[in-house]
Amino acid sequence: MTPTTTWYLVLSALLFTIGTVGVLVRRNPLVMFMCIELMLNAVNLSFVALSKRLLDIDGQSIVLFVLVVAAAEVVVGLGIVVAIMRNRTTFTADDLAELKG
């Protein structure tokens, strides 16, 4: 019994769901970023699995680009977090309500 593409896609769906629930539940911005990384990894996994299934190398090329964009996203996001948190002691996403009217 060998794992088929469907198994990989189901695992990818599970990982994506866990990431979504994490973004919704956690309040620490850093942990929310980690959950976004989980979602990106789930999508990468499904791209690679479908690349094998459809015999098409384009899926793997796209995963490479997703990796680059994820790295850039994390760099900018953590830069924003550092800039915001420099003058603060508390650290939850709910505290960032300065723009509220």
Is 97 an interacting residue with respect to another protein (CB under 8 A)? no
30 close to 74: Cβ distance less than 8 angstroms: no
Residue ranges with strand state E in the chain: none
Q: What count of other Cβ atoms lies within 10 Å of the Cβ of residue 70?
A: 16
Ranges within 20-79 binding another protein (CB under 8 A): 20-22, 24-28, 30-31, 33-35, 37-38, 41, 44-45, 48-58, 60-61, 63-65, 67-72, 74-76, 78-79
We find the least distance from the C-beta atom of residue 14 to another protein, in angstroms, to be: 6
We find the least distance from the C-beta atom of residue 101 to another protein, in angstroms, to be: 20
Q: List, in order, residues 6 or more apart from 86 with CB less than 8 Å away.
A: none
**Token pair 């970023």: residue:** 33
Is 96 an interacting residue with respect to another protein (CB under 8 A)? no
